[in-house]
Structure formats: C-alpha cells, structure tokens
Amino acid sequence: MLSIGHVIVPSSLVLAPMAGISDLPFRLINRSFGCQLAFTEMISANSLVRGSKNTLKTLSASSEKGPLGVQILGADPEGIKMALDVLSAYSFDLIDFNAACPVKKVVSKGEGAGLLREPAKLQKLLKCMVEKSSVPVTVKIRSGWDETGINAPEVALRAQDAGVSGLFIHGRTRIQGYRGEVDYRIIRTVKDALGIPVIAGGDALTPHLIKKLFQETGCDGVAVARGALGNPWIFPETAEYLESGTASFRPDVYDITRTMKEHLTLNTAFYGEKTGVVLFRKFFTWYTRGIPVKGLKVLAFRAGTLDEMMRLIDEVQALQAARDRGFVSRNEPLPSPQPPERFGL
C-alpha cells in the first residue's frame, strides 16, 4: 500500500511517467494488468498555458479508473502557477513536478534535472505549487547532477520543507542519463531522512530487481518505467514475487498477441487509424522481445493500416506456434481483439 497525501493506493508499484509512451492507451493496458497509480508523461507548463492541441490530448483520462498523476515541467513560477490554473479544470489525483529530466534541451533552460543545481529555487517553486494546488504535489528528482554533485538528500529535505506529499527518486545522476549503476545507497539515505513516502526508480526491470530496490533502499514504493514497455505482466508478476518469492506466470504467445491487439485497438480508437498504427510500431518490437521474428519487426515499422498491423501480429503467433507445436497448434483460432468499449473508449 502507498499513501501520498490523501491518495491511498493498494499497490506500492507505480507506472512511471515516460514521454512519448505514457498515453491513455498505454496506461489502460497496464491498469488492466493491475497497475494502480499511473502518471501522464511530462507536460511543459508553457505548452499547458498555450493550450496546444497535442498537450490537451495528453491530458485525456476520461475512461481511466484508478488514481492518475499529471507531471509538469518548468522553471518559471508564474508559468507554473498559470499551468496549475489550467489543470484545475481537470480531475487529476496528484501533480508531480519534474526535476529529473536529463535532456539537454530541457536542462539548458534550467528545467528538469537542471533544477538540481538550484535547490533553493526548486524549493520555492514547489512551495508555490503546494500552496496553489488542491491535490497533493509530489516531486521527481535524481541522485544529483553528476558524481561530484550528489545532493539528493539536501534537495529531498528542501522538497519536504516545501510541503510536497511524496518524492520520486531515480537513483542516477543527470550525467548518467539512463545508463550505469543505480545508486541504492543514496536512495536509502533520502528515505531515512524523510517523513514523506519515497518512491524509488532505476532499473526496475524485473520482479527480482524491483524487490532489490525495495530491500536495498527501504523505499515505500517503486516506479516502473522501461520494465513495462511491451510488458504489462511486470505488475502481476512482481506482486506475486514480492508476496511469495516466486513468479509462476509468464505470458505465452497467445497472451502477448492478444494484448498487442488490445493495445493497437486502443491506440487507433484514441488517435485515429494512421497515428494509432504509427505510434504502435515501437510497441510491436517491445512486445515481441525474445520472440525470434526479426523480419516481422522490420515490416511492422512500415505498416500503415490497422489491418496490416493486425496481420503482422497474427503472423507472430503463427510463427511462434510453428516453432513450439508443443503448446500451440497452427489451426487454433486466433483470439479476436478486445473491443475498445472494454476500456470505455
């Protein structure tokens, strides 16, 4: 269980924000496998204020059940206040502030992980968000800027003083980006110093690594990011592993292709056929990791219609079935995609 302010979540596993990934279809798929607390991708405060069409699409959450946080990015207090005004028309459960994004274009404006170099400024911004927001505010940080600037404990204490209700920490520096070792020790130091919930992240890729994050850091929750790409099963598998020490369920090709079809159907319902198919292409590769269908992956990157993509998914199943006649026969009927109504789209 995880309590962030008044938001109580039965599971301590969280779906982390991922730009270009954490849209409504992705969240719905993960929720259908037991994910409870999820986040939108980061949204720049300025684009919220401008009300750009793409940004407003990112805020779509109408058919979603379960707590949802929106993540915002910025460094200008006035812009952030105006962004909170825009968000007050929506019903998010949490507002998370991004002080972790390592991208050059972002940090060069003093945003994202750039704020780790200005802890006093970050504290002020958070205080102003907490004062203005009607829902709990959280913050996402990294261990520091670089290995000589590990300052997560100071930043975290300042965030707590500003009144945030929870802290997400990716145990890598800005310079490390998404590579290199995750610093469990710094996460533990932060956890020991704070009274608010600390949610750890960094290489939460398997049930075993997630358990290690809990054990080594004493954290209250773990944020799953890349581990959920094409793998919503990480939620039930990890829940089982944390409870019993074993993970007995692994999806077979039927489970995988059925979920691919559901995801694709949600994508096209949400974005329209063309965009929905194009945005699904990368998921085709992620879902089929470990299945030797290289040629199909190449074709998926050229697929332009729903029919084409559906046929490629059927091919994945047929190819795997041919390889593995022990558990699946070529003649078995292919599962039909779940209608989007199941998800309220």
Ligand X SMILES: Cc1cc2nc3c(=O)[nH]c(=O)nc-3n(C[C@H](O)[C@H](O)[C@H](O)COP(=O)(O)O)c2cc1C
Q: Which residues are tagged catalytic? A: 101
Report the residue number, 44 or 257, with the smaller CB distance to ligand X. 44
| One residue of 44, 58, 98, 317 binding ligand X per CB under 6 A | 98
| One residue of 15, 72, 80, 100 binding ligand X per CB under 6 A | 100
Q: Binding to ligand X by residue 337, rule CB under 6 A?
A: no
Lookup result for tokens 């949610």: 199
Q: Which of 117, 154, 162 is nearest to 137 (CA)?
A: 162
Query: By CB under 6 A, which span of 123-131, 149-157, 195-203, 271-279 interacts with ligand X?
Result: 195-203
- Please state the closest distance from residue 158 (CB atom) to ligand X, in A: 18
The footprint of ligand X on residues 33-92 (CB under 6 A) is 41-42, 71
Q: Is 105 left (phi over 0), alpha (psi -120 to 50) or beta?
A: alpha
Q: Where are the beta strands (DSSP E) in 155-303?
A: 166-173, 198-201, 221-224
CB 277 within 8 A of CB 309: yes
Q: Is 285 exposed, middle or buried (0-12, 13-18, 19+ CB in 10 A)?
A: middle
Q: How far apart are CA 281 and CA 54, in angstroms?
A: 19
The footprint of ligand X on residues 196-215 (CB under 6 A) is 201-205
Q: Binding to ligand X by residue 291, rule CB under 6 A?
A: no
Query: By CB under 6 A, which span of 19-27, 30-38, 82-90, 274-282 interacts with ligand X?
Result: 19-27
Helices (H), 272-336: 273-287, 294-300, 306-323
Q: Binding to ligand X by residue 140, rule CB under 6 A?
A: yes
- Please state the closest distance from residue 19 (CB atom) to ligand X, in A: 4
Residues that bind ligand X (CB under 6 A): 16-21, 41-42, 71, 98, 100-101, 140, 170, 178, 201-205, 225-227
